[in-house]
Amino acid sequence: MKTSRLRLRYLFDRYYSKTATPQERDELFAVINAGASDEELSLLIRQAWDDLKPDAALFNNDKPNQMLSNILGAEGLGKQAKNRNNIFLWGKIAAAAIMLVVLTFGVYNYLHPKKAAQQPQIVKVKRPHNDALPGGNKAVLTLANGKTIVLDNAENGTLAKEGTTLVKKTTDGQVIYNTNALAGAEAAPTINTISTPRGGQYQVVLPDGTQVWLNSASSLTFPTRFTGKSRQVEITGEAYFEVTKNTLMPFKVKTNRADIEVLGTHFNVMAYNDEATMKTTLLEGAVSITSGSFSARLKPGQQAQIKSSGQNKIINDVDVNDETAWKNGIFQFREVGIDAILRQAARWYDVQVTYSGKVPDKVFTGRISRNVKASVLLDILKYTGVNLKIEGNKIIVL
């Protein structure tokens, strides 16, 4: 018998506010398992998510419960994917997933987060048995003299003095380069590198005020002070840029496959060596990209794809949220193969992926928080018919 809309809303509200009796909780889970009210339950979950007013900075660890509860909410993804008979992580599976997250981490703490006096430091935690913990704010700063500073363990405040530039770590976990902070004659700029390990991410503010977010297994090399006619940096892996505008000094990004030039703009670059396609996605402003004989000028919503095979092209009307979801603590996929999903998972959870058989020929559309353990992501993939498991530091596709 189908549960009435009013009864379902009552049960969901009671559970969501952590006032449900054991009997009401069991009744709600029975509805989820039956699958008869998936559409209404999905609507309730989306409404609960839309009511959130997240105000924390990106990569802020003060509210992990909020990010974990943001496991759903891609209204625009579902209908399109279902119409194409793709596997969409929604309905009963996704409803059960969000209930699992809320059960584990507590609705009350999620709705009433306590403001911490200081952002907690990321510490090395022993890997769970046959599971993997999500990554966090972890990176290493390499100074011009070769000295390395583990940023997740470093104290807040001044980390180093590079000429007339002070390198500081802020209370919210950023590294900031304060140019001309020291008195005296300006020294020649030196070169620094910030590298994130697998399972790491970090944010840095460059000497010109440009903000850069680094994804896991990435690096950013840059001068401690910009001089001359351009501002040049080099990246590996993936990074999101919000470039400070300076018409007299263009900002240039060098990767292993292409050169990108901008004046002031927001864009994402994905240039991992283990990915067949380098992607540059423009959110705001304009960028020029050059790779060998290929060159193009992007407009907002466009993406340049530089392929290792040399078949380069421009994609119009890209959903930029798909490309930048990682920066907001989300895995987000739109018609993506299992191999591409697991490459992202491997970098974020610091695991290896092996295939004991043929790579499943399926595509997936959906999203889930990056703050869940690897087993939660894999369990959702299992619901779609992919057989896999975790053993030690490996994800094995059977």
Q: Please, what is the angle between helix 38-50 and helix 5-16, to 10°?
A: 40
Nearest to 28 by CA among 45, 8, 42: 8
- For residue 255, what pLDDT is reported? 97
| pLDDT value for 237 | 98
The per-residue pLDDT for 41 is 63
Query: What is the predicted pLDDT for the residue at 76?
Result: 37
Phi, psi torsion values for 204, nearest 5 degrees: -135, 145
Q: Nearest-CA neighbor of 307 among 268, 279, 282, 270?
A: 279
- Please give the pLDDT value at position 320: 94
Residue 213's SS3 state is strand
Residue 143 — φ and ψ, nearest 5°? -80, 170
DSSP string, 248-293: TS-EEEE-SS-EEEESS-EEEEEE-TT-SEEEEEEEES-EEEEETT
- Distance from C-alpha of 44 to C-alpha of 9, rounded to nearest angstrom: 7
Q: What token pair was written down for 71?
A: 């496991």
pLDDT score, position 89: 38
Give domain limits for the chain: 5-118+329-397, 136-323
Q: CB under 8 Å to 26, separation ≥6 — which residues?
A: none
Q: Are 301 and 317 in contact (CB under 8 A)?
A: yes
Nearest to 177 by CA among 222, 132, 134: 222
CATH entry 3.40.640.10 includes domain 5-118+329-397 = no
The CATH code for residues 136-323 is 2.60.120.1440
- Could you say which DSSP state residue 130 is in? T
pLDDT the model gives residue 179: 84
pTM above 0.85, yes or no: no
Taking the CA atoms of residue 15, residue 21, residue 25 and residue 30 in that order, the dihedral angle to the nearest 10 degrees is: -140
Residue 73: what pLDDT?
34
Identify the pLDDT of residue 32.
65
User: Per residue of the chain (398 residues), what is the pLDDT tens digit?
Assistant: 566 777 777 877 777 666 778 777 777 767 765 655 556 666 666 565 445 444 433 333 333 334 334 333 333 333 333 333 333 333 344 444 444 333 333 332 333 333 333 433 434 445 566 899 999 999 999 999 999 999 999 999 999 998 888 999 999 889 999 887 665 556 788 999 999 999 999 999 999 999 999 999 999 999 999 999 999 999 999 999 999 999 999 999 999 999 999 988 999 999 999 999 999 999 999 999 999 999 999 999 999 999 988 889 999 999 999 999 999 999 988 888 999 999 999 999 999 999 987 887 888 888 888 988 998 888 888 877 788 999 989 999 98
